[in-house]
Amino acid sequence: MSKYFVIGDVHGKFGMLQELLKYWDGTSQLVFLGDLIDRGEDSRSVLTLVCDLVKNHNTICLAGNHEHMFKAWLDNPSECYDHYRRNGGDTTINSLLGRPLNTNVKAIADAQRVRETCPNLVEFIYSLPYVYETNKYIFVHAGLDLKLADWHDTSDYDKVWIRQPFHSGQNKTGKTIVFGHTPTFYLFGERPGTEKLWQTADGKIGMDGGAVYGGVLHGLLLDDEGIRERHFIRYI
């Protein structure tokens, strides 16, 4: 029986990720739901670790909207930097360049520095897929366009950005959709800190615990029968 150890949005919280990975048995398929970077203090270490896991341990790591914004900034730093900055991008840029996190970023010059300084990590981010499908599960960062006749036609943009239309839409895929992106405390209408997963009767599991907002980092062990273990690390 296939087993999957799935990790929610890390957002540069390297210490929390290290603690959560202690629950991984080393043999279950490891799956990251995206948003490895931004806001947290050590995106470079997170990227380095997950890149190694992908290359050497058959790990799956999906793109999130923060990886999407990072790529947009690198591709067009003059026009896309402000949007990336407003979403916590400076912490990642400075982390990659080994600078204090409050260093003033120069959008165009630092884009070139990142490309020159971290080519392997840049290449890794550009290589990330948007969805991972198995016989039982669909893993995706934000969600799917459930109004489509075939969910496979969901745009890459929606896979990393969609929110309410997916949350309220009817899941008719025949599979459980496991996603991150929207912190569960928003989905529950609560304050940051809840350790609950967001689950629906039609087969959606939301597992962004808002780790970078003082919440938790979720790790789920799944098999073909459903959730077998649930682990979480509180904000550190």
What single string gives the DSSP state of each residue in 125-177?
HHT--SEEE-SSEEEESS---TTSSSGGG--HHHHHH--HHHHHS---SSSEE
Query: pLDDT class for 70, splitting at 50, 70, 90?
Result: very high
Distance CA 21, CA 30 (A): 10
d(CA 60, CA 161): 20
- Largest Cα–Cα distance in the chain? 50
Residue 232, SS3 per DSSP: strand
Q: List pLDDT tens digits, range 185-204.
A: 999 999 889 999 999 999 99
CB 5 within 8 A of CB 25: yes
Hey, what CATH class is 4-234 in?
Answer: alpha beta
Give residue 136's pLDDT band: very low, low, confident or very high (50, 70, 90): very high
Task: Let me know if 28 is exposed, middle or buried by CB neighbors in 10 A (0-12, 13-18, 19+).
Answer: middle
Q: Select from 230, 234, 236 the least CA-distant residue to 23.
A: 230
pTM for the structure as a whole: 0.97
**For 107-133, how does the pLDDT look when each residue is reduced to its tens digit (9 = 90+)?**
999 999 999 999 999 999 999 999 999
Domain spans in the chain, listed from the N-terminal domain onward: 4-234
